[in-house]
Amino acid sequence: METRRITVLSAGLGVPSSSRLLADQLAASAKRQLAQAGYEAQVDVIELRDLAVDIANNFVTGYAAPRLAEVIAGVEDSDAIIAVSPVFSASYSGLFKSFIDVLDPKSLDGKAALLGATGGSDRHQMVIDHAMRPLFSYLRTRTTQTSVFAGPQDWGNTDNGASPLSERVERAAGELVQLLSGPQPRRKADPMVSLPFEQLLAGISGGR
């Protein structure tokens, strides 16, 4: 069974966080639908608030602390990204953008991406199309047509016991699974692992 690796980025600041809750729902649906499609899903959930100090230090020093470096490597090695940010000042959060800025701009090229956002009002629901989609288009990701915004009215169940978010979550996750089906763009390879022994030896000899 082929494996698809998904990195989930949650930029929520609170505990509990509505952004994390939405991210978990999207990840769970994607994992289940991948299994139905015959794939094994490896899901890594990253709480960006836990990396806030390391991200800030990276801007000042140009050096990623071990934990941040590990997360960056995981993003680069992923087949897909599920990215969820709370809305601040009619855009994604500064923490979310700061993490994106410490990535190699080419590291998301060709990766599948599912975008989500949370906010205190439906007036913020266009943030995904006006702010997040242009960012991920610049990074050359393959982004699902359906994205998911969750406002206060979306949490909880209706009279029939269904979540108002469930249909949108299922549809968006299903589109992500479609993007993950079949051959995928190559993950970033470790040059010391991917090269044949002859080429490695030639490189060492040439450096004398």
Distance (Å, rounded) from C-alpha 11 to C-alpha 16? 12
The domain limits of the chain are: 3-206
pLDDT at 200: 46
Give the residue carrying structure tokens 């991948």. 34
Measure Cα distances from 197 to 109, 186, 187, 192, 204 in Å: 28, 21, 20, 9, 11
pLDDT score for 193: 45
DSSP state of 37: T
Other beta carbons within 10 Å of 14: 10
At 72 the pLDDT is: 97
Question: Residue 144 in 3-state DSSP?
Answer: coil
Beta strands in the chain (DSSP E): 3-10, 40-47, 80-88, 91-92, 112-118, 142-143, 148-150
- In this structure, which amino acid lies at residue 92? Y
Fold for the domain defined by 3-206: Rossmann fold (3.40.50)
Question: Other C-beta atoms within 10 Å of 27: how many?
Answer: 24
pLDDT digits (tens), the chain, 208 positions: 899 999 999 999 888 889 999 999 999 999 999 999 999 999 999 999 999 999 999 999 999 999 999 999 999 999 999 999 999 888 999 999 999 999 998 999 999 999 999 987 677 778 899 999 999 999 999 999 999 999 877 776 655 656 778 899 999 999 999 999 988 876 554 444 444 555 545 555 444 4
- Predicted confidence at residue 138, as pLDDT, reads 96
Predicted pLDDT at 159: 58
Which residues are bridge partners to 112 per DSSP? 80, 142
Q: What is the per-residue pLDDT across 37-60, written as a single tens digit (0 to 9) for each?
A: 999 999 999 999 999 999 999 999
Q: What is the pLDDT of residues 133-161, one digit of tens each?
A: 999 999 999 999 999 999 877 776 655 65
Three-class SS state of 42: strand
Confidence (pLDDT) at 153: 79
- Provide the CA 180 distance to its chain's centre, in angstroms: 14
Q: How far apart are CA 84 and CA 10, in angstroms?
A: 5
**pTM exceeds cut of 0.75:** yes
